[in-house]
Amino acid sequence: MTQTLAKQTNLSQVTGFPDRVIALIKQTVAPGASPVELATFLYNARRLGLDPMTRQIYFIKYSSNRPGEIVVGINGFRSQAEASGAYAGSDDAEFEYEQVGQPKGAPSKATVTVWKIVSGQRSPFTASVRWGEFYPGDGKEGEQWRKRPHNQLSVRAESHALRKAFPQVMERFDMQAAPAAWQAAAITDDGARNDPVRQKQLAQRHREIFDDPDDAALVDIDEDEELDRLEQERQIEKEGVRRT
């Protein structure tokens, strides 16, 4: 069987992300993202130097009829503070439990202090957040808040404290639209992926790789690079069977 070289997608070419990484991000980090949303997510991850695979930056989409949201995770805040060379750690969150309508056992307020080296001295920067101001509501948006109320409130407090301590670093976290070339590349790739001729080509490659059509039907792959990997694995598997 002749090995087919994978053609790099337009989005991979303009972003610098390998196709396998883009495919993984689409499946695990940004499921449901439109082509433009995906391009915007990749652009901001690249611009900020944040790693989507380690959850330094998130894509959140609660419904297909609503636009997604790009959020910098607390690991992203910490990594940027650390990169400044002045970050000196943080204290554990302190909680208050005034009843303000939060679930039983959940805190009403969280306070976190982060430390920064200022003029050679370790200096504190403290911020507090309140449940009533940040709880997103009783729908899907508030699910994690109800499951892990202490974590959610303390993370918000810590991110606010980091913004106070490192304002020039953290102001970069305001999201920006992807360049037109990135958006166009994502839209073009999505159109090619859904093209009937392209689908027939991929189906033919499935049949070439898998002797059993039923096996081919079990996979859902739309990238040549992934098909190349499967073809190599299949050949290795066949060679092993012949040798035994």
8 Å CB contact between 20 and 43: no
The verdict on 117 and 150 lying in the same domain is yes
Q: Is the same domain home to 63 and 18? A: yes
Is the pLDDT at 132 greater than 90? The verdict is: yes
Same domain, 49 and 74: yes
**At which residue do the structure tokens 């301590």 appear?**
165
Predicted model pTM: 0.73
Can you list the alpha helix ranges (DSSP code H) found in 135-223? 143-147, 149-165, 167-170, 180-193, 196-209, 213-217
Q: Is residue 27 part of a domain?
A: yes
Examine residue 244 and state whether it is found in any structural domain, yes or no: no
Same-domain check for residues 75 and 137 = no
In 3D, which of 5, 140, 155, 136 has the Cα closest to residue 73? 155
Co-location of 137 and 75 in the same domain? no
Both 17 and 69 in one domain: the answer is yes
Q: Which secondary structure element, helix H or strand E, spans residue 92, and what is its range? A: none
Q: Is position 243 within any domain? A: no
Q: Of 9-13, 122-126, 160-164, 220-224, which gets the smallest average pLDDT?
A: 220-224
Same domain (yes/no): 30, 80:
yes
Residue 122: inside a domain: yes
Identify whether residues 80 and 186 lie together within a single domain: yes
Q: Calculate mean pLDDT across residues 34-63.
A: 94
Q: Give yes or no: residues 176 and 220 share one domain.
A: no
Domain that holds residue 112: 86-160
Question: Is 229 a domain residue?
Answer: yes
8 Å CB contact between 68 and 33 = yes
What's the rounded mean pLDDT across residues 28-54? 94
Confidence of residue 235 (pLDDT cuts 50, 70, 90): low
Is 3 among the domain residues?
Answer: no
Asked, for residue 181, whether it belongs to a domain, the answer is yes
Mean pLDDT confidence for 216-231 = 50
Q: What is the mean pLDDT of residues 53-64?
A: 90
List Cβ neighbours of 13 (8 Å cut-off, separation of 6 or more). Answer: 185
Q: Which helix (H) or strand (E) holds 134?
A: helix 131-134
Strand ranges (DSSP E) for the chain? 57-60, 69-72, 87-90, 94-96, 109-118, 121-130
Given a cut of 90, whether residue 62 has pLDDT beyond it is: no
Q: Is residue 1 part of a domain?
A: no
**Residues facing residue 96 across a β-bridge:** 109
Of 15 and 238, more confident: 15
Same domain, 100 and 207: no
pLDDT score, position 4: 46
Residue 80 shares a structural domain with residue 173:
yes
Give the C-alpha separation, 136 to 12, whole Å.
35
Q: Of all residues in the chain, what percent carry a pLDDT higher than 90?
A: 65
Same domain, 125 and 72: no
Structural domains of the chain, count: 3
Cα torsion 204, 206, 211, 217: sign: negative
More confident residue, 227 or 150: 150
pLDDT digits (tens, 9 = 90+) for 165-214: 999 888 889 999 999 999 999 999 888 766 555 555 555 655 565 555 54
Q: What value does the CA radius of gyration of the chain take, rounded to a whole number of Å?
A: 23
Q: How many helices (H) and strands (E) does the chain have?
A: 12, 6
